[in-house]
Amino acid sequence: TFRPQIFVLKYYSNISTDRHSDSPPIVPNLIGGSFVDSQSSHFIDVINPATQQVVSQIPLTKNEEFKAAVSAAKQAFPLWRNTPVTTRQRIMLKLQQLIRRDMDKLAMNITTEQGKTLKDAQGDVFRGLEVVEHACGMASLQMGEFSSNVSHGIDTYSIREPLGVCAGICPFNFPAMIPLWMFPVAVTTGNTFVLKPSEKDPGASMILAELAMEAGLPSGVLNVVHGTNDIVNAICDDEDIKAISFVGSNTAGMHIYARASANGKRVQSNMGAKNHGIVMPDASPDATLNALVAAGFGAAGQRCMALSTVVFVGDPKEWETELVKRAKSLKVNAGTEPDADLGPAKERVCRLIQSGVESGARLLLDGRDIVVPGYEQGNFVGPTILSGVTEDMECYKEEIFGPVLLCMQADNLEEAINIVNRNKYGNGAAIFTSSGVAARKFQTDIEAGQVGINVPIPVPLPFFSFTGSKASFAGDLNFYGKAGVNFYTQIKTVTQQWKDLPGGSGVSLAMPTSQ
């Protein structure tokens, strides 16, 4: 049987020697350029969801260690902000090269700790890598503006300056991509950073931090601490932290947004989702069915942009029959197995499927009792399809975050759009149609931040921004793209006067104007 490889990464070389030799490795903090063991006596197991094996343990970083990380970031800031942007870019250029070099190591770590398939784990890294590539052009992205001669001999210009120490709090579902949405943009604009990875899969963050150091990021510019609610609250309350990037659930995100904003911090908070796809009767059958299966069940439905609800306009019967056929052919297995389509995912999922059945939805395909040979302990759920779902059902109102596709029905496009718009979330929505008229109406009327037209998962590349809306986002400056640069910088506006000033014009107390 398969035994997952536990990576003995360079950072694990700091593991304290007094622990019993067969205990799992402890993930260190990164403080001021050194990977150091926490002195904490409280740990959380990082578990391989395919086998339940303990891969490593994270410490609940102690408050004084957290303070030391913030202090290291604060100390590193003055020199780092004055480091030429071209030098900062070059470190990102090197980092993107190192991420490519270690792509397989990162992907294997993600599959071991998070469960997604190796191919999907590569995509997780690649989508983050693209943000690093974008950060390599920061000199242009961070440019200010200049207006000459706004009054006689007077010019005004604006400068985008870094904020200081920023922090990032990450979810479990994209262990590489989401840290890479955060620290590359933050540090290349001249900030220093404290990263708190998900306690469920910290390994990718640690490898990335190690690569960032190898790429030449100076000590203290990027720091990593571990823990759960307490350390998150400490981040929200720390007066030296100027901005917080959060990605995760609404419960945590709204708490962090409220608490950190009340402390005067800038916050961008990307949260939960219920992404709908509307299928028009004229949609191309084969491409649409493939898109629905891929976007509903890919990554076992654990993507914030997973397409978890489909609204069929007209009679859904034929669509549903074909969907079941295609979903049945997917292979559920450990993410490390070459034929796996779906890795493990079980939490909450079974309860919400059952609640759907009890409230009257029809279970067209049930993936709850699946057993994967060789991985009998794994947290697997197979593709599941519920039909006849209505808006009052708990399985519809709550984010399931598993390989479950909910099917609804509407009589026309207007009605389908109204269903989507009544949902509290606004991350993504897609339409499948061959009608430009329907597509344009959808694009105009739909209340979602990221819209797909015959594209099931419309996640923008880093020269745009990730633009969730409604309950899927709190804040006003989104992740990456221009908005991401704006989030991590503040504008200083300078008005300069260089002219020979005529003497003897006297003192004028009137508001200066240029008329």
Our finding on whether 401 is near ligand NAD (CB under 6 A) is yes
Our finding on whether 110 is near ligand NAD (CB under 6 A) is no
CA distance 249 to 273: 9
Scanning 37-45, 149-157, 307-315, 466-474 for contacts with ligand NAD by CB under 6 A, the matching segment is 466-474
Among 273, 291, 345, 405, binds ligand NAD (CB under 6 A): 273
Q: Is 515 exposed, middle or buried (0-12, 13-18, 19+ CB in 10 A)?
A: exposed
Secondary structure in 3-state letters for 48-104: CCCCCCEEEEEECCCHHHHHHHHHHHHHHHHHHHCCCHHHHHHHHHHHHHHHHHCHH
Our finding on whether 29 is near ligand NAD (CB under 6 A) is no
Per residue in 128-157, is it b (16+ CB within 10 Å) or e — as a string? bbbbbbbbbebeebbeeeeeeeeeeebeee
Our finding on whether 271 is near ligand NAD (CB under 6 A) is yes
Our finding on whether 198 is near ligand NAD (CB under 6 A) is yes
Our finding on whether 248 is near ligand NAD (CB under 6 A) is yes
Within residues 64-83, the interface with ligand NAD by CB under 6 A covers: none
In the bound state with ligand NAD, the residue whose beta carbon lies nearer, of 255 and 470, is: 255
Among 119, 255, 346, 441, binds ligand NAD (CB under 6 A): 255
Scanning 6-14, 129-137, 168-176, 185-193 for contacts with ligand NAD by CB under 6 A, the matching segment is 168-176
Scanning 8-16, 21-29, 91-99, 251-259 for contacts with ligand NAD by CB under 6 A, the matching segment is 251-259
Scanning 87-95, 192-200, 403-411, 497-505 for contacts with ligand NAD by CB under 6 A, the matching segment is 192-200
In the bound state with ligand NAD, the residue whose beta carbon lies nearer, of 142 and 270, is: 270
> What secondary structure letter does DSSP report for 379?
-
Scanning 48-56, 79-87, 137-145, 247-255 for contacts with ligand NAD by CB under 6 A, the matching segment is 247-255
Our finding on whether 170 is near ligand NAD (CB under 6 A) is yes
CA atoms within 13 A on the CB side of 62: 9
Say if CB 238 and CB 230 are below 8 A apart. Answer: no
Our finding on whether 172 is near ligand NAD (CB under 6 A) is yes
Q: Minimum distance from CB of 461 to ligand NAD (Å)?
A: 15
**SS3 state at 150:** strand
Q: Minimum distance from CB of 109 to ligand NAD (Å)?
A: 17
Q: Which of 304, 350, 395, 407 is catalytic?
A: 304
In the bound state with ligand NAD, the residue whose beta carbon lies nearer, of 141 and 232, is: 232
Angle (CA) 240-245-249 rounded to 5° is 130
Pairing of strands 425-426, 362-365: unpaired
For the question of residue 304 being annotated catalytic, the response is: yes
Among 163, 232, 244, 451, binds ligand NAD (CB under 6 A): 232
Structure tokens belonging to residue 215: 């790429």
Residues near 132 by beta carbon (within 8 Å), at least 6 away in sequence: 92, 95, 96, 99, 180, 184
Angle between helices 118-135 and 103-114 (to 10 degrees): 130
Q: How big is the site for ligand NAD, counted in residues (CB under 6 A)?
A: 29
- Strands in 152-297 per DSSP E: 154-162, 165-169, 192-196, 222-224, 241-247, 266-270, 275-279
| φ, ψ (nearest 5 deg) of residue 326 | -70, -40
In the bound state with ligand NAD, the residue whose beta carbon lies nearer, of 111 and 472, is: 472
User: Which of 171, 195, 197 is closest to 185 using CA atoms?
Assistant: 195
Scanning 82-90, 214-222, 224-232, 370-378 for contacts with ligand NAD by CB under 6 A, the matching segment is 224-232
Q: Minimum distance from CB of 452 to ligand NAD (Å)?
A: 15
Structure tokens belonging to residue 357: 């059945």
Within residues 470-489, the interface with ligand NAD by CB under 6 A covers: 472
CA distance 186 to 451: 27
Our finding on whether 176 is near ligand NAD (CB under 6 A) is no
Residues that bind ligand NAD (CB under 6 A): 169-174, 196, 198-199, 228-229, 232, 247-249, 251-252, 255, 270-273, 304, 399, 401, 427, 466, 468, 472
Give the residue numbers marked as catalytic: 304
